């Protein structure tokens, strides 16, 4: 009898993407697609991006949905497969954080050096 085992946690991925950011997918089947981040699943290192990784699920009839049928929704993709789009130039760029003199963290686009505002 095999028991399900949880995968040993690896090195955590830094999460510099937040809900509402515009991102571009850089790897996988949805490469070069852009969308807005709907949710960030921090425990699983995944993000749900609008219009990317559409999953279909067969749902049996319930009281809320008496017809049942096939529903479509966005599935998650790994956070390392998306890159933040800088609002000013519209280009995808890596992001680093910088601490101001006041002690506030600010996201900086690596390509241009411009700050990236929070949505």
- For 25-54, write each residue's pLDDT tens digit: 999 999 999 999 999 998 888 999 999 999
Rounded to 5 degrees, what angle do the CA atoms 10, 15, 18 make? 150
Domains of the chain with CATH codes: 22-92 (2.30.30.30)
Residue 95 near residue 79, CB atoms below 8 Å: no
Q: Which residue has the higher pLDDT, 63 or 13?
A: 63
Give the mean pLDDT of 61-90.
91
Residue 86 near residue 114, CB atoms below 8 Å: yes
How confident is the model at residue 52, as a pLDDT? Answer: 93
**DSSP for 92-109, written as a single string:** B--EEEEE-TTS-EEEEE
Assigned token pair, 50: 């609008």
Give the mean pLDDT of 69-73.
92
**Mean pLDDT across the chain:** 87
Residues ≥6 apart with Cβ < 8 Å to 27: 80, 81
How confident is the model at residue 1, as a pLDDT? Answer: 47
């Amino acid at each position: 009898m095999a028991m399900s085992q949880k995968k040993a946690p690896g090195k955590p991925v830094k999460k510099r993407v937040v809900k509402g950011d515009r991102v571009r997918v850089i790897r996988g089947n949805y490469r070069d697609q852009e969308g807005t981040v709907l949710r960030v699943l921090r425990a699983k290192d995944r993000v749900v991006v609008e219009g990317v990784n559409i999953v279909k699920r067969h749902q049996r009839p319930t009281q809320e949905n008496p017809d049942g049928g096939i529903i479509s929704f966005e599935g998650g993709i790994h956070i390392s497969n998306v890159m933040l789009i800088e609002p000013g130039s519209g280009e995808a760029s890596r992001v680093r954080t910088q601490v101001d003199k006041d002690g506030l963290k600010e996201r900086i686009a690596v390509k241009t050096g411009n700050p990236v505002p929070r949505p």
